[in-house]
A and B are shown apart, each in its own frame.
Chain A
Amino acid sequence: MNTIMQKSVLEIGTGASKNRDCLQAVHEAISQAKTNLGKETAGLAIVFATIEFARPVVAKIIANLLGPTPVIGASSAAVISNQGIWKNGIVIMLVNFPEEIFVNHAFVKDMDQKGGVAGGLELAEKLLSGFAGKQRDLSVIFSDGIIKEKKGLITGLQEKLGRSFPVVGASASDNFHFSKTFVYANQEVFNNGACGLLFGGRVNFGLGIKHGWKTLGKPRYITKAVDNTVYEIDGKPAADTYQQYLGFDLPRLKTELKRISIFYPLGITLAGEKECLLRNIIAIGDDGSCVCQGDVPVNSQVRLMIGTKESALSATKQALDQAKEQLKNCQTHFALLFNSASRLMLLGRDANRELEIVKESLGENTPVIGLYTFGEQAPLTAAGYHGISYFHSQTFTILGIGTKN
């Protein structure tokens, strides 16, 4: 854990490179970011890079080039910046926060061994170090997208940090192999861990989260489920629902799982929420059980969901409006985008349209960097959920940062 050095005004410098030589790309991106920042060192560096960058030597070079600047980040299926969306590349944002904003950074390793809740508690403890007496405003977390205890991480984190402020997170992704995803913390890049930031003071932010999927068919009820595995819906094997709707047998359902998972997730109806909480099916058992990305409580009302490119892009616009509304009249200094990897696959060649919508909404010159995730974490909007951060799928999540007037 380190307390990040503060500056009197918020300064941003971003850099990006898609040079096929990873080390060369790191040099190019950092050089651009430093030039745009106008300084050699910064209070914080946020790094998103595609999977081929996830090597110890790359992390060491980043640390060497940035000197004492703390680094956090995550691997991604593609990287997003004002320059475009690249399936091979690295984006770096260097930030100097004003004096009235406090930021701590920390990381935790060996999550699977420690357990999700314990890992979350450890991370929270590190983040709180040196934060005594300061108002907590926001926490941003990047975690390995493959770890089992995703819910536990947030639970542990919020147990210690409290629920009076939002915890926003992104699960790292890879190039859709679903084998290993990584987080960056200072001079290290590792899997099976998480890293995060805790903001306090006068940080002003706007959070927008939408997916755009619509309900289809009649409501059904989860009658048997454990954690993220749904065994039965309406008393029948969970996969039966998909088989009925799609007319596929179980083997074909398994073959077509990737497409089904993206286009037709399960939607959990939440009281007071405009959108359902989505759950991708990531595996189908021989018994017809469906393993979801995120927990599904028993007795939940679920619907089959359907998404289109247009509905997804419309949701992007809504999320941007939501974030801007929260920032009120405050200028958005920079924005972090946590975009579901499923949306990248859904949008395909139209992924750039989404970036155009972002630029149009925030302004062409507002620094933006982002990653594609294997899940997003954010609180629900309705007051009844008491600030608990939930695991989301398929959303476009934007975190706009400004300063209080």
Chain B
Amino acid sequence: MGLDNLFSILNILLVIGIAALAILLILKLEKLKQLQATNQGLKKSLNEMDEQAKLILRTDIELNKAQEELDKKITSLYALQRMSRAISSTLEENKIFKIIESTGIEDFGFEKSCAFLWDPVKKAFLQQANIGYSQAELETIQSYLKENQEAYLELLSSKKTVSSLSLSQEEKSKINKVFNVISFVISSVSPIGGSRGFLFMGTTDINMAISEGDEEMVTVLAHQIGQAIDNARLFEKTWHTQQQLERKVEERTHDLTKALEEVQMISKRKTDFVSAVSHELRTPLTSIKGYASILLAGKLGGIPPEVQERLEKINSHSDELTHFVNDLLDIARIEAGRMNMKKETFDLEELLRRVLDLLAGQLKEKNIALSYTIPKEANAVFADRGQLNRVFINLIGNALKFTPQGGKINIYAKISGNAVQIDISDTGCGMPHEAQQQIFEEFYRVDNTINQEAKGTGLGLSLVKHIIEAHQGKIWVKSTVGSGSTFSFTLPLPA
């Protein structure tokens, strides 16, 4: 009994134990199930994240490529800007390529470069720049260019850019071999005038793939070089022209100086001659006039009327000749700088009134109305009173001579700059344009009926011009045939 009870109790405990274990197992299984579900969830999430990682990576590689290309372009642009600035700052053709050599091309992504220009005389491509090539390599390139001259000349004519990107595999391989590179760009250098050439840039970097951007960059640089060559050549041409011009001007100046010296020498001789002759003439003239006056005065006894008439002619002709000789002497003196101008400040109107008094008879005789206007501010002049008197007598005398009966003469003074300008206008016959150019020359007389009839030496206006110029003034004439003339001259104002 006791044993049975014990077994019963043990059985109950066993059942309870088994039941507990079963519950525990169920709970564990449930937990495992949950863990498995969590694990599955985590695996799923991990796989999802891995898929997202793939997306990130694919986007990232594209972004990196874009960034690389952008970096490359920016670096190239900076390099292009630096090189362009350096190239455009020189006006010597042989320095342009030296600048490329010294500035370097690494920032363009290349490490080898050379440039050649076609010489039409030597019929060969001449090397201008070299970066990264040995002499032996350059010789290989030169002989290749000689063999393929036509192809390269065609490239220059087309002004194209070719590269590893655009050429066929065969052409590419050939160039790669000759120029010892893996990728390259060749762009024509085409200045508007003169010989053309090409710029080569290459790299041995197997990882550098030539892009359209590289082509563009090298093309722009080659274009800049072309423009710089144009500028240099234009400057050279202009400089040579200027040098030639300067030489010509120098030669011409030398010739002119020599001619002027000769003219001055001749003029001096003429002045000396005129002066000498005039002096020699004046002495006998004085005697002639003196004797004629004695005879006319009857100091040597009465003279028949025919003789008197002849003597009066001798006397008057002697006066004219003396006047002529005096004018000549004065011109010679002024030209030689021997005439002393006794300059002083005086009243212009007063001087003019005295001159008009002298000419009053002639004005009345020809019934010529003379008027003058001298404003107060233009009344005072600084001049040699005696010489200015001669100027007025000559100019008003001429106006009288060429103005017909009943005509008008007008004298007008005004301030013009730092001088007094005096205009003497008449309503005379006037003179043609060509006469106006020569009217102030010695012995020149306008070819008209009045001059043909009236006497004159052709020295009056020349003397006037000399006197005015000796006063640092100017004289000129404006005239219209049939409408009259206006002679104008200037005189300095008093200080």
Task: Point out residues on A near B: beta carbons under 8 Å.
Answer: 20, 87-88, 175-177, 216-218, 244-247, 256, 258-260, 263-264, 304, 306, 348-349
**Chain A residues near B49 (CB, 8 Å)?**
217-218
| A217 contacts B50, C-beta separation under 8 Å | yes
Question: Does the CB pair A245–B106 fall under 8 Å?
Answer: no
CA distance A244 to B47 in the complex (A): 13
In the bound complex, residues from chain A placing their C-beta under 8 Å from that of B68 are 259, 348
Q: Tell whether, in the assembled complex, residue A175 and residue B205 are in contact, meaning their CB atoms are under 8 Å apart.
A: yes
**CB nearest to A18 among chain B residues:** B104
CB distance from B417 to the nearest CB of A (A): 67
Q: How far is it, in angstroms, between the C-alpha of A304 and the C-alpha of B56 when the chains are bound?
A: 12
Which residues in chain B, 446-477, are within 8 Å of chain A measured between CB atoms? none
With A and B bound together, what is the CA distance between A245 and B50 in angstroms?
8
> How many Å lie between the Cα of A194 and that of B469 in the bound state?
99
Among candidates A87, A88, A246, residue contacting B58 with C-beta atoms closer than 8 Å:
A246
- State whether the Cβ of B64 lies closer than 8 Å to any Cβ in chain A: yes
Q: Taking the nearest CB of chain A, how far is it from the CB of B180, in angstroms?
A: 13
Which 4 A-B pairs rank lowest in CB-CB distance, beginning with the nearest?
Answer: A217-B53, A348-B71, A218-B50, A216-B53
Q: What residue of chain B has the Cβ atom nearest to residue A308's Cβ?
A: B60
B54 at the interface (CB under 8 A from A): yes
* Binary CB contact string for chain B from 270 to 286 against chain A (1 if under 8 A, 0 otherwise): 00000000000000000
Question: Considering the chains assembled together, what is the distance between the CA atoms of A244 and B104 in angstroms?
Answer: 43
B64 is contacted by which of A87, A216, A259 (Cβ under 8 Å)?
A259
Which A residues touch B47, using CB under 8 A?
218
Instruction: Determine if B54 and A245 form an interchain contact, defined as CB atoms under 8 angstroms apart.
Output: yes
The minimal Cβ–Cβ distance linking B317 to chain A, given in whole angstroms, is: 99
Bound complex: CA A245 to CA B54 (Å): 4
Contact of B60 among A87, A88, A263 (CB under 8 A): A263
Complex Cα–Cα for A217 and B56 (A)? 10
CB-nearest residue of chain B to A216: B53
The listed residue (B54, B64, B74) touching A349 by CB distance below 8 A is B74
Q: Is B300 an interface residue (CB 8 A)?
A: no
Among B57, B74, B104, B206, contact of A246 (Cβ-Cβ < 8 Å): B57
- Asked if A247 and B54 make an inter-chain contact with CB atoms under 8 angstroms apart, the answer reads yes
A-B contact list, 15 entries, CB within 8 Å = A20-B104, A175-B111, A176-B205, A177-B206, A216-B53, A217-B57, A244-B54, A247-B58, A259-B65, A260-B61, A263-B60, A304-B53, A306-B56, A306-B60, A349-B74
A304 surroundings in chain B (CB, below 8 A):
53, 57
Mostly helix, strand, loop or mixed at chain B's interface?
helix
The interface of chain B, by Cβ under 8 A from chain A, is 46-47, 49-50, 53-54, 56-58, 60-61, 64-65, 67-68, 71, 74-75, 102, 104, 106, 111, 204-207
CB atoms of B54 and A258 under 8 A apart:
no
B10 to chain A, nearest CB (A): 52
Q: Which residues of B contact A260 (CB under 8 A)?
A: 61
* Docked CA distance A264–B60 (Å): 10
Residues B56 and A216 in contact, CB atoms below 8 Å apart:
yes
- A155-B364 Cα distance, complex, nearest whole Å: 139
Whether A263 lies near B61 (C-beta < 8 A) is: yes
* Residue numbers in A under 8 Å from B50 (CB-CB): 217-218
B110 CB to closest chain A CB (Å) equals 12
Q: A216-B56, A218-B50, A244-B54 are in contact. List 8 more A-B contacts (CB 8 A).
A: A175-B205, A216-B53, A217-B53, A218-B46, A245-B53, A256-B61, A258-B207, A259-B65
How far is A135 from B75 in the complex, measured between Cα atoms in Å? 50
* A264 CB contact (under 8 Å) in B57, B71, B111: B57
Complex Cα gap A304–B58 (Å): 13
Q: Are B206 and A217 touching (Cβ within 8 A)?
A: no
Complex Cα distance, B54 from A246, in Å, reads 6
- Cα A256 to Cα B56 in complex, Å, equals 17
Contacts of B56 in A (CB 8 A): 216, 306
In the complex, are the beta carbons of A176 and B104 less than 8 A apart?
Answer: no
Minimal beta-carbon separation of B165 from chain A (angstroms)? 16
B65 surroundings in chain A (CB, below 8 A): 259
Q: How far is the CA of A348 from the CA of B64 in the complex (A)?
A: 11
CA gap between A217 and B57 in the complex, in Å? 10
Task: Tell me the bound Cα distance from A264 to B67 in angstroms.
Answer: 16
A175 to B106 alpha-carbon distance, docked (Å): 12
B46 touches A245 (CB 8 A): no
Most chain A beta-carbon contacts within 10 A, residue among B46, B49, B53: B53
Q: Are A349 and B53 in contact (CB under 8 A)?
A: no
Q: Shortest distance in angstroms between A289's beta carbon and chain B's nearest beta carbon?
A: 21
List of A residues within 8 angstroms of B46 by Cβ: 218
With both chains docked as a complex, state the minimum distance between the C-beta of B74 and any C-beta of chain A, in angstroms: 7
**Bound state CA distance, A259 and B62, in angstroms?**
11
Q: How far is the CA of A259 from the CA of B57 in the complex (A)?
A: 12
Find chain A residues with CB under 8 A from B204 CB. 177
Contacts of B57 in A (CB 8 A): 216-217, 245-246, 264, 304, 306
> In the bound complex, how far is the Cα of B209 from the Cα of A258, in angstroms?
12
> How far apart are the CA atoms of A372 and B207 in the complex, in Å?
18
Give the distance in Å from the alpha carbon of A54 to the alpha carbon of B206 in the complex. Answer: 21
**Which of B54, B67, B207 is close to A176, meaning CB atoms less than 8 Å apart?**
B207
Q: Which residues of B contact A177 (CB under 8 A)?
A: 204-206
| Docked-complex contact A87 and B106, CB < 8 angstroms | yes
Q: In the bound complex, how far is the Cα of B111 from the Cα of A8, in angstroms?
A: 46
The distance from the CB of B468 to the nearest CB of chain A, in whole angstroms, is 75
- How far apart are B488's CB and chain A's nearest CB, in angstroms? 76
Interface centre among B50, B57, B60, B68 (most CB of A within 10 A): B57
Q: How far is the CA of A247 from the CA of B56 in the complex (A)?
A: 12
